[in-house]
Amino acid sequence: MTENELNLLHRYLDVAITPNELASLEELLRRSAEARATLRSLATIDAKWQEIAADEAFSQSRTPMTEVTRSLSEGPEAPVRTEEHPSLTHRGTSRRHTSIWLALTAIAIALVVGVLGSFRVPESTPAEKKRGIARVIRIEGEGQAGEGRKVVDGAELFAGEEVAMQRGLIELAFRETGVHIVATAPLRMKLDSDQRVSLNEGQVKLVVPPQGVGFVVDTARRRFVDLGTSFVVTAHAQGSEVLVLDGQISVNKHDGASRDLMHEGEFARFDHDGRIEKRFPTRVSQALPELSRPATNPGDSSMRGVVLGYDRSMEAVKDRLAVDVIGRELLQLVQSGFRDHAYLDAFKEGEPLSFRGIAGAFHEFPDRTGLAPYAREGGWMAWYHGQVTPPRAGRYRFWGYADNHLLVAINGKPVFEGSRRESSFKTLGIPRTNNPSLPCLIAPAGFACSDWIEVSGDPVRLDILFGEVGGNITSGLLLVEREGDTYEETFWGQPKWPLFLTETASADETEEFKRLITHLEQKTMGSFTIAEDAVWKVSQ
């Protein structure tokens, strides 16, 4: 396949493909068996296993390529050692870090399918291991399949088997169709074929690539047929529910008497008495809003910050180096524990900032903060810092995501990274857990969360970096959870953790936050609450 054809596959899996590119992709898949096979490999775990096998075959080699292959096999969050291999630094660098269940990069394909093809470990013979219709990517908790066999990471699942779990979640991918499923317990789900599952109990989130169109989820109340989309189905004793995240699905009765189409943002509940409750997207769900809260003129109780950008064009630099120029530069500030400010000399600064939380869109942020005019292709970064006091002693963890950069550090140590994979912050190897079962439109891996962090209640040094790789289409959400506290949940099961704030929100700000919450819940991008007892206040 050509590089342009491979890029089409990656842009589709990254949910970044344009309508024109999608038409080209569909035509490519119709005429090219190789393209269909490659997309199946990218959308399932197979390419990952092959890459690991190739890495093992090269384990005795000392060539630079071995190090690159090893960094890929270590996982989607492992650092890629580009500084040791400058010849590999190019415009595709950001694709090296990706969710296992989505794709490897074009480089990984070249290594596995091309350069390393002759070293591939032979497939197991039928006598050694049968190939099922799906493979388990990961399982958290204990699960059983047919005849009571234990389900483990990497297990093969076969047609006609039922997967059952009392707690936890299971992530799996179908070989032929490339359909990816994350299912949460309590769960009873039968794999009827590579085109159909029967969900008797539990919740499943599905991502269906083009070759999987027509995939069916059967429940006791309704049959849901994919028409090229991502959606969530829940089945329980009271009935079934469906939420369309992207694209559209067909909803059928089992007798085939009726057929209904549901589109992005629509939600429906079907009970045992035949009643149907639907919720349709409204006009407010068409664009993520940007809050009008002032971002400058910090007061005495504000955590302060500065917005950074480039005064000169970065086009030549971006052609020569990684796409994420500003993140690459500020890595040195992070690695110094935020103590060495010499790295800031290369940037233009806006007006002094007041931290008002990270929530919603930030499309006009450079203009509102006095950074513009600046080199848009170089991106921008807001750096907030100060001494803050946690509301109570205990264990906390951060939740959220950003397009593109989001990093939180306590006492100079990075503790949370919620960036998309274009961000150079991925190379820091900050512990992070993706939660794909929590719907999130701009992050296919779902909401990210940090490890638990112990704080005493005394003041701590806080540093937050939030920004954009290039351009001005930016959004993010940063929340905080305290261990032991209970939170209200959204209808798809995500707790409404408090927005991370360092000042109590005013009445006007609270009203704006409420409007944003309404928008987020309608678009399934998340939700949050405004809780005064969760504010980390600035220490004087």
Q: Which of 227-231, 267-271, 369-373, 463-467 has the highest mean pLDDT?
A: 463-467
Q: Are residues 355 and 263 in the same domain?
A: no
Which tens digit of pLDDT belongs to each residue from 170-219?
989 998 888 889 898 899 999 999 999 999 999 898 888 877 888 999 99
Question: Which residues does 521 contact at the CB level (< 8 Å), separation at least 6?
Answer: 490, 527
Q: Are residues 353 and 473 in the same domain?
A: yes
Instruction: Report the alpha-carbon distance of residue 522 to residue 216 in Å, rounded.
Output: 25
Q: Are residues 249 and 374 in the same domain?
A: no
Q: Are residues 424 and 490 in the same domain?
A: yes
CA–centroid distance for 397 within its chain = 17
Between 304 and 63, name the one with better pLDDT. 304
Residue 241 bridge partners (DSSP): 234, 269
Residue 320 in domain: yes
Q: Are residues 398 and 516 in the same domain?
A: yes
pLDDT at 102: 34
Q: Assign residue 343 a region: left if phi > 0, alpha if psi is -120 to 50, beta otherwise?
A: alpha
Q: Are residues 108 and 158 in the same domain?
A: no
Q: What is the CATH number of the domain that holds 138?
A: 2.60.120.1440
Residue 292 in domain: no
pLDDT at 105: 33
Residue 254 in domain: yes
Which tens digit of pLDDT belongs to each residue from 341-383?
988 998 999 999 999 999 999 989 999 999 999 998 899 999 9
Domain boundary among 281, 309, 327: 281
Q: Are residues 97 and 12 in the same domain?
A: yes
Residue 398 in domain: yes
Task: Quote the percentage of the chain above a pLDDT of 70.
Answer: 76
- Token pair for 200: 């008797």
Residue 468 in domain: yes
Residue 124 in domain: no
Q: Are residues 466 and 332 in the same domain?
A: yes
Domain boundary among 119, 148, 175: 119
pLDDT at 281: 58
Residue 104 in domain: yes
Instruction: Report the alpha-carbon distance of residue 498 to residue 392 in Å, rounded.
Output: 14
Q: Are residues 325 and 385 in the same domain?
A: yes
Q: Are residues 330 and 473 in the same domain?
A: yes
Residue 79 in domain: yes
Q: Are residues 142 and 192 in the same domain?
A: yes
Which tens digit of pLDDT belongs to each residue from 93-138?
333 333 333 333 333 333 333 332 322 334 444 434 578 999 998 8
Please tell me whether residue 30 adopts helix, strand or coil conformation: helix
How many domains does the chain contain in total?
3
Domain boundary among 73, 89, 119: 119
Q: Are residues 107 and 154 in the same domain?
A: no
Structural domain harbouring 431: 299-538
